Amino acid sequence: MDVDDFKNGQTILIDKPLNWTSFQVVNKLRWAIRQKFNLKKIKVGHAGTLDPLATGLLMICTGKFTKTIDLLQAEKKEYTGTFTLGATTPSYDLETEVNETFSTEHIINKNIKDATKSFLGEIDQTPPLYSALKKDGVRLYELARKGETTEIKSRKITIFEFEITKIEMPNIDFRVVCSKGTYIRSLANDFGKALKIGSHLSALRRTKSGNFNVNNAVSPEDFILKLNGTC
């Protein structure tokens, strides 16, 4: 690929590493493209944010393709991951420490699998307080880290598919196909409420978005090696 390819537009499929922010991936690729072609600037953006504790498919758009980001973000998405039952955290994932625990001894596999049925279709979901959504111009996670609470309105989302793929208590593996705007952390928390035993998200991986699949994605490092012709 030459410089015009990136200016005219590319959609780059990246397998986001654990503990990277989506913005760090964008910065890394933008810097590499600028260095390769000696550019002062080039448009680079991502379609659909992944939390630092999540891995998987991140679509990076360059040049004129940045105009397609909204369309790409609107596509349905598939995730796999793990809920840990019997414990909750304020962030609904491992960003924060466990704040409450519950007994899971009375829970059987059928309870867990049956609980997925109540989440199928269009449902109301409240985003987590630890999120990048804004309230009066301030990110919610900034308020949360200061110990402040605020009312968050629920939103309509759609769960197209929700299956439990493995049960090794207290951890359960899942696969979810959902609409834009779905917070899997909130799904984890709500799932625990449905079972009355608490739950939080302990692993998450985005595997598909629209017609794109993480199997066709590369790491940021491998993309840069290919860009520079060293692999």
Q: What is the pLDDT of residues 106-157, one digit of tens each?
A: 999 999 999 999 999 999 999 888 766 666 676 666 766 666 677 778 999 9
CA 154 to CA 15: how far, in whole Å? 30
Length of the chain: 231
Confidence class for position 166, pLDDT limits 50, 70, 90: very high
- Please check whether residue 49 is in contact with residue 11, taking contact to mean a CB–CB distance below 8 angstroms: no
CATH architecture of 77-209: 2-Layer Sandwich (3.30)
CA 150 to CA 126: how far, in whole Å? 12
DSSP 128: P
Confidence class for position 214, pLDDT limits 50, 70, 90: very high
Report the percent of the chain where pLDDT is more than 90: 85
Lowest mean pLDDT among 12-16, 85-89, 139-143, 165-169: 139-143
Residue type, 183: Y
pTM, two decimals, is 0.93
Q: What is the mean pLDDT of residues 8-31?
A: 97
Within 8 A by CB and 6+ apart from 201, the residues are 81, 82, 83, 84, 92, 93, 94, 184, 185, 187, 188
Fold for 3-74+211-227, please state it: Pseudouridine synthase (3.30.2350)
Mean pLDDT of the chain: 93
Model confidence at 231: pLDDT above 60: no
93 is catalytic: no
Instruction: Return the pLDDT at 143.
Output: 63
- pLDDT tens, position by position, 34-92: 999 999 999 999 998 999 999 999 999 999 999 999 999 999 999 999 999 999 999 99
Residue type, 168: E
Instruction: Return the pLDDT at 136.
Output: 66
89 phi/psi in degrees, rounded to 5: -135, 155
Q: Among the options 4, 5, 15, 51, which is catalytic?
A: 51
Task: For the chain, give every residue range classified as CATH 3.30.2350.10.
Answer: 3-74+211-227, 77-209
